[in-house]
Structure 1
Amino acid sequence: MEVTQLRKAARRGLAEEAADRVREAIFAGHFRPGAPLREVELAASLGISRGSVREGLALLSREGLIHGGWHRPTTVVEVTVADVEEVYSVRAALDRLAATTAHTHATPDELAGLDSLVAELATAVREDADGPRLLALDIAFHDQVYAAAGNTRLREAWHAVRSQVFLFQLQRISLGHRHYRARVVAEHRELATLIRAGETARLARAAEDHVHSARQSLLAELSG
């Protein structure tokens, strides 16, 4: 029997670790949109080789968080109007489907998890938590909605845009945090309530409105 020759599998643990650490730094606001990411400095900071850093940055590039190329510096992507329109349009469609599917399939434990995250958000707002902390809870809520939907391909589609959503939302908060703080708890509480026992049509509208509100807020800040 003839055996097809394949390339040896590469160990990518360090590359994935590098991607995780840099992603965390971006999401914490340490590397802002447009900020350069230098392999030498990152390798020294992380205590790993430049090759591992380069592979890790390639993973982040595929997530849409950074860009670069031959003879071009690697930087965190800058948020443009065109990118906002594209990403939030895709997210609105995905969130609508995730919410309505979760309404049908969510277990009591998953519904309780949504309520718990809303309570954490409310506490974080009262305690004047910083933007990245609020946003981490916000995204965790939506992760839970997608998990409750029980649709593997839908969840994969969410993860394809999740990093860009986080980065764009972080930019929204940095430019206009008052609007975000004023709405974040009420909007997520409404979604949790409707997923538990709401009308499907009303839930679908609320899920889309939640995304469109974020899009409009960010676009207003970018143009201002």
Structure 2
Amino acid sequence: MTVGPARRRGLSAEVADLIREAIFDGRYPPGAALREVELAEALQVSRGPVREAIRVLEVEGLVRAEWHRGATVAALSVQDVAELDSLRGALEALAVRRVVDHASDEDLGRIEKAVDAMDRATTPHEMVRCDIAFHDAVYAAAGHSRLVQAWEAIRSQVHLFLITRVNVSSVGYLEQIRSEHRDLAAALRLGNADGALELFAEHRRHAFDVLTSGN
């Protein structure tokens, strides 16, 4: 048995990247319609790659498609928020313990560099990107490939979770996130697993409380 020739990365993947970025920077907020015709015209492509891109983003959990409404940016329900929070907590517990036990000085340096990047964030959406980048660095430092894969499976949804959080309230958000992540990085550097786990749980709890305070 043989396999076919490899294909270069398709146009639909590039379109998915562009739509994803538009969601992440707030141009398409949760609940916004994603109309194939408008997107195809704006991106100067046919509707086929747009349709395929929307399917990719639907698998990621960023988009919801219903026959009577078309495609929209996912708006997280109370159950969505609770499930993402609990799953994120389970993954982070393993990540933190592995970082404390196995991370090199270089790994910890990359985590601290991600914190330093937060000083340059001037908007909530930029800070959300920095927040995600910090957690990317933590999972990378854990040295567990399947854990990284599990994180990547929910990464876009967590990004949407954090965007939804800042849409609810961004008062004091920039400095709060900088301060929290400095403390998280410091706890990992000290090798204090229990203290780091508590700080990571508190960090998640702040976002969860903002999202659920009105429910």
**Rounded Cα–Cα distance in structure 1 between residues aligned with 2:105 and 2:87:** 29
Q: Does 1:132 align with 2:131?
A: no
Report the TM-score, using the length of structure 2 for normalisation: 0.92
Deviates more, 1:139-148 or 1:75-84: 75-84
Unaligned stretches of 5+ residues in structure 1: none
Give the one of 28, 33, 39 matched to 1:31: 28
Q: Which residue of 2 aligns with 1:65?
A: 62
Are 1:178 and 2:156 an aligned pair?
no
Distance 1:7 1:71 in 2: 38
Match for residue 118 of structure 1 among 107, 111, 115 = 115
**Contact kept? 1:64, 1:77, Cα under 8 Å:** yes
Deviations 1:171-206 (A, max 9, x none): 111221125334211211111111111322222222
* Runs of at least 4 residues off by over 6 Å: 6-10
* Unaligned runs of at least 5 residues, structure 2: none
SS in 1 for 2:76: coil
The residue identity in structure 1 corresponding to 2:93 is R
Q: Which residue of 2 aligns with 1:94?
A: 91
The farther-off stretch of 21-30 and 38-47 is 38-47
Work out whether residues 123 and 174 of structure 2, in 8 Å CA contact, stay in contact via their aligned partners in 1. Answer: no
Report if aligned partners of 1:92, 1:212 keep a CA contact under 8 Å in 2: no
Amino acid at match of 1:64: G
Aligned to 1:151: 144
Offset, 1:11? 5.7
Find the counterpart in structure 2 of residue 168 from structure 1. 161
Describe the SS at the equivalent of 1:102. Answer: helix
TM-score w.r.t. the length of structure 1 is 0.88
Residue identity opposite 1:38 in structure 2? R
The 8 Å contact of residues 124 and 173 in structure 2, kept in 1 or not, is answered as no
**2:134 matched residue in structure 1:** 141
Q: 1:50 to 1:38 in 2, by over 3 A?
A: same
Correspondence for 1:14 among 3, 11, 15: 11
- 1:123-175 CA-to-partner distances (Å, cap 9, x unmatched) read 43xxxx11111111111000000001111111111111111111111111122
1:162 and 1:192 map into 2 onto residues whose CA distance is: 20
Following superposition, the deviation at residue 8 of structure 1 comes to 8.5
Alpha-carbon contact 1:110-1:148 (below 8 Å) kept: yes
Aligned alpha-carbon RMSD (Å): 2.0
Displacement of 1:76: 0.5
Total equivalences in the alignment: 215
Aligned pairs for 1:71-90 (under 5 A) are 71-90=68-87
Matched, 1:40 2:33: no
User: What is the one-letter code of the residue matched to 1:39?
Assistant: E
Identity %: 42
Q: Which moved more, 1:145-154 or 1:8-17?
A: 8-17
Contact 1:94/1:154 (<8 A) preserved: yes
* Letter of the structure 1 residue corresponding to residue 67 of structure 2: W
